[in-house]
Structure 1
Amino acid sequence: MKFPRPASRAQLRNALAGGLALIAAGLVAGCDSRVGIEGTDYTTDTPHTAATTTTSTPAATAAAVPVAPKPKPGELLVTVSLTKPDSAAADALTAWAMDLQSLSPARLQAKCWTLAPQHVQSMYTDKKAILTALARPGVDDGAAITWQGTGHGAVTVVAQRTDIDTGYACPRVYTAGATPAFDETDARHTVRRYLDRVIGKPLDPADKETTHPLRCAAGAANWDPDGTGAPVPAPLTGLKALENIRSFDDQSLSSTTLRASYVSVEATVATTDGVEQTRTFTLKSGKQGYCIGAVTS
């Protein structure tokens, strides 16, 4: 079944008033399910044209505010609001919100590969609360846009700028009042993605270091996993040694919080010589998620 289409985004953007970005789209509900792999993070742990009115003065031409199509039975209307006009953000969140309603959990998980599968399963359960939050003006702090829901069962929706820039943003969802933060599940998924790249099987062809950096930026003196009080640039040691890895055991990924923003993740890998070894990754959490700063054998 095709998605009913709203007035064109160009028309909607032309109708923005008071810095509020509004995008609406009719949505269809999905019904499939995902079978997890125990022991890993994959467990369940006809466009409308805006009319114009011309007055007796030729120069005075006004576009009528476009009206979104009426949802069909079983469909929902989605509104993505922003405190200031941002067509890229509105489009990226609208595309995802449409999929949230129409795709099966397995297909949505595949599209939201930047998130840990476990988070896709747990964060996207209350679709009504998510859509309600998106209808409230989202606030941009430069690194992410945050939508705060209100009322009983409200949620907070956070979309990273790096995801918005790709044209499709899978946001993170938290219980209203909770402080948005990254956790060990995110750290393990960062290592999973990096190892998948190393063995030549990225979770998605678009998952590249140039557009989705997973290594900590070199040069910035902000690396201090031992709490010495004297931060240095992330050493990025051990990354070259990963080049001889042929495969890794996803079920072996385990994590430990070191201190504050630092997490250690261990993974069992197999080298090109067929030798099974353990690699330990040290990661740091920042505004965009976890980055890998060092790897040891």
Structure 2
Amino acid sequence: MTKATPIDGGDIKSAAAWTRKRFAGVDIARTALRESGRRGVLGGLAVSVAVLISGCDSVVGIPGDEPEPAATQPTSTTTTGANTGGDTPEPPAVSQAITRWAADLRTGNLDELEQKCWTMAPLNVRAMYAEPAPILAALDQPSVGNGSSTVWKSAAVTVIANDRELATDYACPRVFATGTTLAFNDADARHTVRRYLSRLVGEPVAPTDAEGTYPLVCAAEPGSWDPNGTGSATTAPLAVDPDASGDVTAFIDQSLESEWPRGDYITVSATVTNAAGGQQKRTFTLKSGEEGYCIGDVSA
């Protein structure tokens, strides 16, 4: 197993540099992002895609894990957002959820976006949303639903919002360069475990972060759990036994580490405190899907 290179708490440039080295052949929107827009748009989007492939996360309020303050981006002059053209009209709830987010994006206040987009690893938020202009331009395009998400696409940028989040009051979409593939990284996996453990100790990262609205545990059906690649998929163990994590009363956020076993699966370890006051290491196994990572198993 190759241990994921943690860049938690580091600057975004380091994340981008690490990814360029690992994925040297990726050419991000090379035609649409030239000349006057190259320095600004490519600077933001290359980093955006970089952190979607590599790893970069932090939590506000945890000493030593806060991202460095980012320069406030210029307010975009784009006047529209979430264009609802096309053959399939966009439901009003979708328009409201994405428009609220787009209004905040226009201000360029990354600190506010980081707080409101708590379902994502904080530095992933900062990287994806660093350049509002091309994102807002993509939102001017007609939206297309694919059954589980809604997509806005321009020649340079693709914006995709999970329908589950679009059903809430505020939707934070993923942003990546058009022509590349949306991918979830090890920072996403660690943040999933962070949110799961935060719930267990009674301190969710947001008041509304609950399993019923934002599932983090892999669904029992269909039984597609096969981290060892045996070819015989089963139901995820944590879906069968939701109490497998034990009586966790606290955890050390800085202890979160990730490794890639194989394929769509990743493990994240964390040091937790049990009801008796003792500390133990727990290892969580997660699977990547269309909506991000879900936790399927936990072991001591």
Bin of the TM-score, shorter chain as denominator length: 0.7 to 0.9
Inter-partner Cα distance in structure 1 for 2:265 and 2:131:
30
User: Deviation above 4 Å: which 4+ runs of structure 1?
Assistant: 34-40, 73-76
Contact 2:121 2:187 in 1 (8 A): yes
Compared with structure 1, are the counterparts of its residues 217 and 227 closer, same or farther at alpha carbon in structure 2 (3 Å cutoff)? same
More displaced 10-residue stretch of structure 1: 286-295 or 77-86: 77-86
Inter-partner Cα distance in structure 2 for 1:35 and 1:192:
12
Given candidates 137, 143, 156, the residue that maps to 2:158 is 156
Q: What TM-score comes out, normalization by structure 1 length?
A: 0.73
Compared with structure 1, are the counterparts of its residues 231 and 267 closer, same or farther at alpha carbon in structure 2 (3 Å cutoff)? same
Instruction: Tell me the residue number matched to 1:231.
Output: 233
- Stretches of structure 2 that go unaligned for 5 or more consecutive residues are 1-58, 69-74
Identity rate of aligned residues, in percent? 46
Given candidates 214, 217, 227, the residue that maps to 2:216 is 214
Q: Deviations over 1:238-283 (max 9, x none)?
A: 7414342111111111111121111100011112222111100001
Q: How many residues align?
A: 233
- Stretches of structure 1 that go unaligned for 5 or more consecutive residues are 1-33, 45-72
Inter-partner Cα distance in structure 1 for 2:221 and 2:178:
36
Instruction: Tell me the residue number matched to 2:19.
Output: none
Instruction: Tell me the residue number matched to 1:285.
Output: 288
Inter-partner Cα distance in structure 2 for 1:208 and 1:258:
28
Instruction: Tell me the residue number matched to 1:122.
Output: 127
Inter-partner Cα distance in structure 2 for 1:35 and 1:222:
35
Given candidates 138, 144, 166, the residue that maps to 1:133 is 138
Instruction: Tell me the residue number matched to 2:35.
Output: none
Instruction: Tell me the residue number matched to 1:256.
Output: 259
Instruction: Tell me the residue number matched to 1:193.
Output: 195
Contact 1:253 1:267 in 2 (8 A): yes
Q: Deviations over 1:67-106 (max 9, x none)?
A: xxxxxx9854132123321222111110100011236322
Over aligned residue pairs, what C-alpha RMSD do you find? 2.3
Instruction: Tell me the residue number matched to 1:203.
Output: 205
Inter-partner Cα distance in structure 1 for 2:253 and 2:166:
28
Inter-partner Cα distance in structure 1 for 2:67 and 2:260:
21
Instruction: Tell me the residue number matched to 2:182.
Output: 180
Name the SS for the 2:229 alignment partner. coil
Q: What TM-score comes out, normalization by structure 2 length?
A: 0.72
Name the SS for the 2:227 alignment partner. coil
Inter-partner Cα distance in structure 1 for 2:67 and 2:149:
28
Name the SS for the 2:208 alignment partner. coil
Q: Which has the larger radius of gyration?
A: 1
Instruction: Tell me the residue number matched to 2:67.
Output: 43
Contact 1:187 1:283 in 2 (8 A): yes
Given candidates 165, 168, 190, the residue that maps to 1:166 is 168
Q: Which amino acid aligns with 2:272?
A: V
Q: Deviations over 1:139-172 (max 9, x none)?
A: 111111111121xxx2211101111011211001
More strand as a share of residues: 1
Q: CA deviation at 1:39?
A: 6.1
Contact 1:220 1:234 in 2 (8 A): no
Q: Which amino acid aligns with 1:229?
A: G
Contact 2:108 2:130 in 1 (8 A): no
Given candidates 99, 104, 117, the residue that maps to 2:104 is 99
Q: CA deviation at 1:36?
A: 8.1
With a CA cutoff of 8 Å and minimum separation of 6, indicate the structure with the bigger relative contact order.
2
Contact 2:268 2:285 in 1 (8 A): yes
Inter-partner Cα distance in structure 2 for 1:294 and 1:122:
30
Contact 1:37 1:43 in 2 (8 A): no
More helix as a share of residues: 2
Compared with structure 1, are the counterparts of its residues 291 and 35 closer, same or farther at alpha carbon in structure 2 (3 Å cutoff)? closer
Compared with structure 1, are the counterparts of its residues 139 and 113 closer, same or farther at alpha carbon in structure 2 (3 Å cutoff)? same
Q: Deviations over 1:38-86 (max 9, x none)?
A: 764x535xxxxxxxxxxxxxxxxxxxxxxxxxxxx98541321233212
Q: Deviations over 1:22-42 (max 9, x none)?
A: xxxxxxxxxxxx9886764x5
Name the SS for the 2:267 alignment partner. strand
